[in-house]
Amino acid sequence: MIVMNKTCESLRAAVADIADGSVVMIGGFGNSGIPLQLIEALRQHGARDLTIISNNAGVAEIGIASLLKAGQVRKIVCSFPRSSGSIWFERLYEAGDIELELVPQGTLGERIRAAGAGLGGVYTPTGYGTRLAEGKETKVINGKGFVLETALPADVALIKAHRADVWGNLIYNTAGRNFNPIMATAATTTIAEVSDVVSAGELDPECIVTPGIFVDRVVTQEASRHDAA
């Protein structure tokens, strides 16, 4: 029997085929569970005209902000782009140089999950009667109002996990899960940045959070990089 091994030799190789114009999901909540080294590899790779789906828009000049600064991002889909220090997002937004699709955080998660689960969309009560439901289909079910929110898939998901096995099974560190497990399910190609990779069978099957079927490539963090998380 042969051995399945989804390990990728380098961060650079892991992102090498990301094309201009791609829709790219990036896991993380603030700096928790964010794949900083994959983002840096994407910045160096240089793909442009990207649509980024992520909860936040980056702060200072690291993470997603570094992609914004480099002019690689056409559009961002997120729930909370404006954080303390999100200077690059604010600069581009004020100049009209970036498109923003603002989505309530739970709706963002359900739209991502729907894409991964093969659903066309969900009816959520979130946002009903607010500006963020304008132009969307609504429906009253058992007397309660709901908004139709459609599936949000991506070409690529860049995610951060704690540990992988060679089959691509993943476990996370504390609150570092956030969007990572659902984004893993929703992209054509899912690439996971991890602290280390172990053999098949070394992760407790009761405790695996992301089954390997959702993961295409696993890459270990490079300790020498200045952007190590």
Q: Which of residues 86-115 bind other proteins (CB under 8 A)?
A: 89-90, 93-94, 100, 102-110, 112-113, 115
Provide the CB-side half-sphere exposure for 114 (13 A, CA): 17
Please identify which residue in 67, 177, 187, 194 interacts with other proteins, judged by CB under 8 A.
Answer: 177
Please identify which residue in 5, 7, 48, 121 interacts with its own copies, judged by CB under 8 A.
Answer: 121
- With binding defined as CB under 8 A, does residue 226 bind other proteins? no
- With binding defined as CB under 8 A, does residue 182 bind other proteins? yes
- With binding defined as CB under 8 A, does residue 223 bind other proteins? no
Q: Which of residues 25-54 bind other proteins (CB under 8 A)?
A: 29-33
- With binding defined as CB under 8 A, does residue 167 bind other proteins? yes
Please identify which residue in 119, 130, 199, 228 interacts with its own copies, judged by CB under 8 A.
Answer: 119
- With binding defined as CB under 8 A, does residue 110 bind its own copies? yes
DSSP per-residue codes, the chain:
------B-S-HHHHHTTPPTT-EEEE--BTTBT--HHHHHHHHHHT--SEEEE-SB--STTSTHHHHHHTT-EEEEEESB---TT-HHHHHHHHTT-SEEEE--HHHHHHHHHHHHTT-SEEEE-TTTTSGGGTTS-EEEETTEEEEEEE---EEEEEEE-SEEETT--EE--GGG-TTHHHHHHHEEEEEEEESEEE-TT-S-TTT-SB-GGG-SEEEE--TT-TT--
Q: Which of residues 2-21 bind other proteins (CB under 8 A)?
A: 2-4
| Chosen from its own copies, other proteins, none, partner binding at 94 (C-beta under 5 to 8 Å by type) | other proteins
Looking at the DSSP bridge assignments, the partners of residue 56 are: 80
- With binding defined as CB under 8 A, does residue 136 bind its own copies? no
Count of residues binding other proteins (CB under 8 A)?
Answer: 74
**47 vs 104, which CB is nearer to other proteins?**
104
Task: Round to whole Å and give the CA distance between 27 and 45.
Answer: 19
**11 vs 164, which CB is nearer to its own copies?**
164
Please identify which residue in 43, 181, 192, 219 interacts with other proteins, judged by CB under 8 A.
Answer: 181
Q: Which residues bind its own copies (CB under 8 A)?
A: 110, 114, 117-125, 139, 141-142, 144, 146, 150-151, 171-172, 174, 204-207
